[in-house]
Amino acid sequence: MIFDTPAIPGMILLIVFTFIIWLFMKNKLSLLKLYLTVISLVGVIGMAIGYGVAIYAGIQSAVISDDEYLTGRGVRYQLDVCEQPKYSMAREGEEPAMPTQEEVAACEEKARTNAIAERSYETKQNVIGGLVWGSIALILFAIHYPLLIKTREDD
């Protein structure tokens, strides 16, 4: 389907928005003003989304503790695997050996450590990505909006 790609609805929305701006400013609109208006709007929306993602990821990481994350994220299945018999170690015709309590404890600690490290990585990735995209949008806005104001004042 055509709308399976996330960029398609955004492009359609941008075209519709551009057409609406053109209708309202038909008498005073130039191609340069239209371009500057659309890019300024993209900059504002991009800043809101980019910085919003970064702030959300940072606050989520600060508010939700590691234990809450492990419980709420459904990491329990990784911990349950530690208590399963060792089928890979069993020979044909033998019953698989059950892990000892020390092996289970070591496996669970490793699974917890890996899950927390993965959470930390994802949080950092989301914060950095949000800050980068928000900053790019800020640069777009900071360059184009003053030009838009200047062209409107010149008319």
Local confidence band at 6 (pLDDT 50, 70, 90 cut-offs): low
Local confidence band at 143 (pLDDT 50, 70, 90 cut-offs): very high
C-alpha 116/C-alpha 150 separation (Å) is: 51
Return the SS3 of 97: strand
Residue 51: partners with Cβ closer than 8 Å, 6 or more residues away: 130, 131, 134
Residue 67, pLDDT above cutoff 90 = no
C-alpha 138/C-alpha 40 separation (Å) is: 9
pTM: 0.68
**39 within 8 A of 151, measured Cβ to Cβ:** no
C-alpha 137/C-alpha 135 separation (Å) is: 5
pLDDT digits (tens, 9 = 90+) for 79-136: 777 787 766 665 666 676 777 888 888 888 888 888 899 999 999 999 999 999 999 9
| Percent of the chain topping pLDDT 70 | 78
Please tell me the predicted confidence (pLDDT) of residue 122.
Answer: 92
| Cα–chain center distance at 90 | 43
Residues 66-82, mean pLDDT to the nearest whole number: 78
